[in-house]
Each structure stands twice: as structure tokens, then as C-alpha cells.
Amino acid sequence: MVKGVVAIVGRPNVGKSTFFNRCVGSRSAIVDDQPGVTRDRLYREAEWSGSKFLIVDTGGILPGTAADINSSAQINEEVNKQVRLAIEESDVIIFMVDGKQGPIGVDEDIAHILRQSKKPVLLAVNKIDSPKEEMNVPEFYSLGLGDPHSLSAQVGSGGVGDLLDLVIENLPKGKKGRASEEEDLGEEEDLDKKPFSLALVGKPNVGKSSILNILCGEDRTIVSDEPGTTRDAIHTIIKHNGREITLIDTAGIRRRTKVEYGVEAFSVVRSFKAISDADVVVQIIDSSEPISDQDQKIASKIAEAGRGVVIVMNKWDTFENKSSSKMNELKKDVEQDLRAINYAPVLFTSATEKVRVGKIIEAAGLAFAQNHRRVTTSLLNQSITECVALVPPPAGKRGKRLKIYYATQVAVGPPTFALFVNDTKLMTDNYRTYLERKLRENFGFEGTPIRILTRPKKKQ
């Protein structure tokens, strides 16, 4: 059970993301020497001494909007807004400062904001990598936030463990956190109630963050017309009709030749990882532009990952002709151009006018259910027998013909079927495609890939 929410705040480049990664045990947040890399809030579950809590990495606070750290004043203002939201929803705040540099004016401004929050604040003095640097720590008493706690997030030395002990002590007793307001209901839970994760992916500037904000009902992710605003995969947990859904907003995936090595390259890698980790992927496309090669590559990645999928054609408001016939015409084009996921439902939305965005959750829930659907062995074999009777397998070399003795479902996520046959080499791609099409006709499987494997029948 998750006990509460812990937010890490501070000015840019003091090591917040490094400490966050050490707490969650992975490189979830992008760490780079360039100040201002983390712009949105990152949520992950962490555990210390048997206690679980939700930890939040935030962008560097920049009091006012005059400071310009590799971005516009508008972005800086939005970063501050995100940090304030994190402070409001947290139970404990870790205020991280740079022990090598000592307290500066920005730290004092942030300390003033934190004192007003009335939340437990733990002052973490980072980058204390040697005993000599411990002499700098007492200077931070001037911030008026109690005892400063020295540590080195980079190497994991110093008081990292002591700080986490204090985090656990200050968490609300018996409180269930945002990540788990209910106990897991187990595998027997109905699929239409089971929690699932949903990744929003697509090229830059197609409206991913805007759609996320609408689904959340608040400005959870920074929205800007500047392509590349979202750099990390942002996890946000919402409740929809009593069901817990984790929304994952990702960085825009550009063509590899246009991606510079460094922060953006790592962002794209995390976007592809989000596709693999999510239960359902929503591919968002700018409907005012033709389907591109990059859209097709993203679709192929989704199909390879075996995830449930929904296609969202955003910016539908830019069309003058919004008739049903126009929509059906575009659907056919999408199915033709995105053949790798032509089984996915297609929605036409407008994030700016909030048109049909709410249907994304409903479609994703159905795709999740289909992705985890099981078919009884008797019905499956009945369907395969009918398929073979309608269209017998083609003869191979020397006139030998494929024989399918029986079939069984061996996995879900995606639904995977094993056909026991006389010779696995006789299964052609065309006949496999035919069987897949017939299984979809008989059982649905909208919004999910299905896998058909062949195995030799064991000799008695």
C-alpha cells in the first residue's frame, strides 16, 4: 500500500532528478548537466524500509519569469506552476540545494514559498562528495527550514538513507496514496474494472499534452506550441468511473536523422520504452497532415510491442467538411496507411475544442479488454475448423498440405494462439493472415494485435 506523496523541489541543476532516480532504482528521469531539463512532474513508486510512497520529480523553480534557462519566459512560468501543484498535492517536501555552491538568493525565495505551504519540509544539501565539503552544510541553517541533511545523490553516499528514514517518519500514518487508493483486486477482477496504463505517443506538436490535460481535468503537463516541450515520459494517475488509469505522456518522436544526441535522444528512447511498458497505446496524429513515414514507424513499434492501441486523429476542428462521409473516407485512408495497426479503432478529436477527447478512455478500456481476452479451447477449435473448411491451406512443395490438428490459446497481452500442425514450414504468411482475419470476424479483437504460432504435433 502506498502511504503518501513526496515531492522533490529546488532550483535547476541541484541534482533533483539524480536523487529521484536513486530512490526509484532506475533512470526514469533524464539527467543532464544542462539546467532546466526536467520541466514536468514525474511520478514513480518508491520503497524504503518496507514503506511504499509516490515520489515526484519537478522542474527547477525559477521565482519570477525573468530568468531564461534555455527556454522562453512562458515555459519558466509554466514550470513554476507545475512545481506549485506538486507542493499542493504532496505530503512531504524534499527541498534540494547545492552544497558546493552554498545558499543563494533563489534558494531563499524558494524557502519562503515552502514555509508558506505548512507541509513537512526536509532540507537536503546535495553534492557533498567529501568530508571537507561537510563544512559548507551549516550555512544552510540560514534558510530557516530546520536541520540541513547532507548527501551525495550522484554516488549514493552520505545521508541518503537517513533522509529517506525521515521521509517515512513524516508520511501520514495509514494514508493511502494517489497511486493506490484501493488494494489490488487480484487476477479474478473483471477486465472492465482492472487498472491499466495508457501511453500517449506521436510526433511532436500533435496535441499529446493538451489531450492529457483534458483527460486529467487539470493542467498536469506543460502545454506549449514549441515542439519538444515534453521531454520525459510523464506518468499521471486518474480515476475514471472508479477505475484507476495511469496516463503516460511522452516526448514527440521525430525521425532519427532529426534527433540530436543528448537529452532529446534519451527522450525518444523513453517514448519507445513507454510503448513497451504500457497496456494500451494511443497514437495521436495531426489529421490536418498526411500520414507520414514516421507515423508508420511508430505504428510498427506499437504492433511489435503487442499492446492494445487506439488511433486518435487530432485537430479535427481544422476541417471545414466534418461530415460522416468525410470521416469514413479518412478512416479508410488511415487503415490503408497504418497497416501495421489497421485493427485499431479510429477517433477524430479536437483538443482545442475538447471534442470527443473523453471517448479516448472508453476506447482504450475496450482495447485493454480485447488485448487480455481469452477464448475457450472448444470455440477456438470450432472456428479454426470452419476456417479450414472454407479455405483449405494451400499445398506446399511436392503437394504436401498443411494440417491443423488442434489449437489453444497460450497467452494474453496480446492474445496468442498455438496451432499444432503436421509441418510448421507449410504455414504461409498469406494463410496466417487469413486465419487472423477470420478470428477477428468471429471473436472481435478490435484494438489489439493477435499472434498465431505453429508447433509440431508430438508423435505418440
Domains of the chain: 2-170 (3.40.50.300), 196-371 (3.40.50.300), 377-456 (3.30.300.20)
Render pLDDT for 176-199 as a digit per residue (tens, 0 to 9). Answer: 333 333 333 233 346 777 889 998
Look at residue 156 in the predicted model and tell me its pLDDT.
74
**Residue 290 DSSP symbol:** P
Look at residue 67 in the predicted model and tell me its pLDDT: 39
The whole-angstrom separation of Cα 100 and Cα 123 is 15
Q: Per-residue pLDDT for 230 more than 90?
A: no
Is the peptide bond between 63 and the residue preceding it cis, with omega within 30 degrees of 0? no
pLDDT in tens, 264-305: 344 455 667 778 888 999 999 999 889 988 889 889 889 988
H helix intervals, 145-207: 160-170
Q: Dump pLDDT digits (tens) for 306-358.
A: 999 999 999 998 888 888 888 888 999 999 999 999 999 999 999 889 889 98
Cα separation, 107 vs 95, in Å, equals 9
Least confident of 8-22, 58-72, 432-446: 58-72
pTM of the model: 0.59
Range scoring the smallest mean pLDDT among 53-57, 296-300, 432-436: 53-57
Dist. CA 402–CA 396, nearest whole Å:
8
**CA nearest neighbour of 41 among 237, 271, 275:** 237
Q: Which residue has the higher pLDDT, 232 or 239?
A: 239
224: confidence class by pLDDT, cuts 50, 70, 90: low
> Is 356:350 a contact under the CB 8 Å cutoff?
yes
DSSP 364-409: HHHHHHHHT----HHHHHHHHHHHHHHSPPPB-GGG-B--EEEEEE
Q: What is the mean pLDDT of the chain?
A: 79
pLDDT at res. 77:
64
Is pLDDT of 140 > 50? yes
Which range (28-37, 88-97, 237-246, 442-451) has the least confidence? 28-37
How many Cα atoms sit within 13 Å of 103 on the Cβ side?
18
Q: Distance (Å, rounded) from C-alpha 43 to C-alpha 344?
A: 29
Query: What whole-number distance in Å separates Cα of residue 60 and Cα of residue 38?
Result: 7
Q: Rg of the chain over CA atoms, in angstroms?
A: 26
Q: What is the pLDDT of residues 117-134, one digit of tens each?
A: 888 999 999 999 888 888
